[in-house]
């Protein structure tokens, strides 16, 4: 009786888990978004996704069914990207990134803001941009993002936090903290020099009025 009932239950359980190829196909749009954020070029992003998919198919025996397929694939994508970077040190233009990679089409003002966001994303350090995209766009947890980037969870959180703060500062027209601090230091130094010059002139004038003193 038990043997007859366990087989259908196992079959139903297996049927609820998508096959490797189904998961791979469903993940392709998200892989391309992440590839665009890495390469900052559409053609290179397509090549990167194709190479990552080939690597995944060759290594599909190493994937454990039931675990996070997205994190596994993003790690392959990142490793392939780093491998390509070591072979060639090309720079790409973020202006080629499609708008749909970051948001849906909107009104003209929103499109201008979106272009500014894309431009500022390109200015972020690569590791900060990757962490931000994995967590905010791809929906990975900090733990999964840390696994993809091969870093500590605290490091992943720090990268996302700094990326968000830096983007906010840029988009709000604020200067980075370091630059603001440098500006204040320069202003203070200029004030001190001005006061010293005024003090020097005052002393010279006093001596001119009282030459015998």
Instruction: Write down the mean pLDDT value for the chain.
Output: 76
Range 153-166 average pLDDT: 94
Ranking 47-51, 158-162, 168-172 by mean pLDDT, the lowest is 168-172
Mean pLDDT over 105-134 rounds to 77
Between residues 149 and 99, which one has the greater pLDDT?
A: 149
Confidence of residue 105 (pLDDT cuts 50, 70, 90): very low
Residue 97 has a pLDDT of: 46
For residue 125, what is the DSSP state? Answer: -
Residue with tokens 């007859």: 4
Residue 118: band (very low, low, confident or very high) from pLDDT cuts 50, 70, 90 = confident
State how far the Cα of 21 lies from the Cα of 114, in Å rounded to an integer. Answer: 34
CA–CA distances in Å: residue 173 to residues 104, 120, 187: 24, 12, 20
Residues 193-211 pLDDT 10s: 666 666 555 555 555 555 5
Kindly state the tokens that stand for 197.
Answer: 């010059």
Q: At what angle do helices 20-39 and 42-58 cross, to 10 degrees?
A: 140
pTM above threshold 0.85: no
Percent of the chain with pLDDT over 90: 39
Task: State mean pLDDT over 133-142.
Answer: 90
Beta strands in the chain (DSSP E): none
Confidence band, pLDDT 50/70/90 cuts, at residue 92 = very low
């Amino acid at each position: 009786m038990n043997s007859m009932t366990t087989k259908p239950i196992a079959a139903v359980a297996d049927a609820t888990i998508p096959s490797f190829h189904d998961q791979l196909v469903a993940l392709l749009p998200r892989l391309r978004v992440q590839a665009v954020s890495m390469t900052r070029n559409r053609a290179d992003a397509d090549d990167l996704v194709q190479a990552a998919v080939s690597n995944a198919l060759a290594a599909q025996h190493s994937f454990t069914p039931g675990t996070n397929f997205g994190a596994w694939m993003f790690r392959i994508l990142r490793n392939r990207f780093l491998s390509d970077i070591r072979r060639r040190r090309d720079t790409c233009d973020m202006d080629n990134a499609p708008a749909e990679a970051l948001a849906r089409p909107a009104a003209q003002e929103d499109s201008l803001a979106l272009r500014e966001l894309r431009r500022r994303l390109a200015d972020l350090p690569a590791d900060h941009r990757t962490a931000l995209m994995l967590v905010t766009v791809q929906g990975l947890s900090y733990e999964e993002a840390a696994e993809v980037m091969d870093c500590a969870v605290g490091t992943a959180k720090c990268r996302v936090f700094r990326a968000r703060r830096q983007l906010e500062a840029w988009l709000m027209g604020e200067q980075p903290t370091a630059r603001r601090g440098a500006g204040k230091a320069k202003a203070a130094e200029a004030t001190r020099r001005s006061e010293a010059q005024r003090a020097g002139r005052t002393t010279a004038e006093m001596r001119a009025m009282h030459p015998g003193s």
